[in-house]
């Protein structure tokens, strides 16, 4: 398992980005009262929440990311594999229809979800990375106004990786992946 770098969030491997994004999403949902259907992950979320110092917090975060990596298995999963993983964790509470319809319909659905549920959701987009290659990765969408605010995928390090993307640009990047998304209903 790749050791999570604590000094440079831009150099994560695709596998680590996926594991970090899923771990952060799971922890955020857990904090909002939406628990996974996996006792080991619930324990790790509780350990992370109850950490009293950075050493305990880092250990709990790394254990959670490692457990997710073990559950996913080797290699980066495509959208169907990630959705199957999330379905195993959240059962019938998992929705994957956030990206259906026109841009206007998607934007309206996102805003209804945001104001009704107030939970983060995940979208898969295509972007150019620091090395110049274009590839897909998952964003944890925190809010949508005239910009899409993507949550920091690794809140356990000191690098602020939260970012904002104009809604129109987000839609283009999201459409490149077929508007793949996951949310808890």
pLDDT at 84 over 50: yes
- pLDDT confidence tier of residue 152, bands split at 50, 70 and 90: confident
> How confident is the model at residue 54, as a pLDDT?
85
Secondary structure of residue 131 in the 3-state scheme: coil
> How confident is the model at residue 1, as a pLDDT?
38
Q: What is the mean pLDDT of residues 65-75?
A: 88
Cα separation, 177 vs 8, whole angstroms: 26
Answer yes or no: is 93 within a domain: yes
Q: What is the mean pLDDT of residues 61-82?
A: 88
- pLDDT confidence tier of residue 75, bands split at 50, 70 and 90: low
CA angle (161 as vertex; 153, 117 as ends), nearest 5 = 55
pLDDT at 5 over 80: no
129-138, Cβ contacts within 8 angstroms, sequence gap of 24 or more: 130/10, 130/11, 135/14, 136/176, 136/177, 137/14, 137/17, 137/18, 137/21, 138/17, 138/18, 138/21, 138/22, 138/82
* Number of domains the chain contains: 1
Q: What is the mean pLDDT of residues 105-131?
A: 92
Answer yes or no: is 65 within a domain: yes
Answer yes or no: is 80 within a domain: yes
Six token digits for residue 118: 């107030």
Secondary structure of residue 144 in the 3-state scheme: strand
pTM to 2 decimal places: 0.89
Answer yes or no: is 26 within a domain: yes
CATH number of 130's domain: 3.90.70
- pLDDT confidence tier of residue 130, bands split at 50, 70 and 90: confident
Answer yes or no: is 152 within a domain: yes
For the chain, where are the alpha helices, taking DSSP H only? 14-31, 39-50, 54-72, 79-90, 103-117, 167-175
Cα separation, 143 vs 133, whole angstroms: 27
Cα separation, 54 vs 66, whole angstroms: 18
- pLDDT confidence tier of residue 57, bands split at 50, 70 and 90: confident
Q: What is the mean pLDDT of residues 119-132?
A: 90
pLDDT tens-digit series, residues 17-46: 899 999 999 999 999 999 999 999 999 999
Answer yes or no: is 121 within a domain: yes
Instruction: State which residues form the domain around 30.
Output: 13-184
Answer yes or no: is 100 within a domain: yes
Edge to edge, the sheet with strand 94-95 lists: 94-95, 181-184, 121-128, 134-144, 147-150, 163-166
Answer yes or no: is 5 within a domain: no
């Amino acid at each position: 398992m790749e050791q999570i770098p604590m000094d440079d969030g831009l150099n994560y491997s695709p596998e680590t980005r996926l594991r970090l994004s899923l771990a952060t999403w799971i922890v955020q949902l857990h904090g909002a009262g939406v628990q996974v259907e996996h006792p080991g992950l619930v324990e790790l979320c509780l350990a992370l929440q109850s950490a009293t110092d950075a050493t305990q917090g880092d250990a709990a975060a790394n254990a959670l990311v490692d457990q997710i990596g073990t559950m996913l298995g080797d290699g980066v999963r495509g959208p169907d594999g990630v959705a199957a993983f999330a379905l195993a964790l959240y059962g019938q509470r998992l929705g994957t229809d956030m990206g259906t319809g026109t841009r206007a319909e998607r934007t309206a659905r996102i805003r209804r979800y945001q104001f009704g549920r107030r939970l983060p959701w995940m979208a898969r987009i295509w972007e150019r990375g620091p090395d110049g290659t274009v590839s897909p990765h998952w964003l944890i969408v925190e809010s949508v106004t005239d910009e899409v605010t993507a949550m920091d995928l690794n809140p356990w390090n000191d690098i602020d990786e939260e970012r904002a993307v104009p809604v129109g640009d987000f839609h283009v990047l999201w459409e490149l992946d077929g508007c793949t998304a996951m949310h808890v209903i």
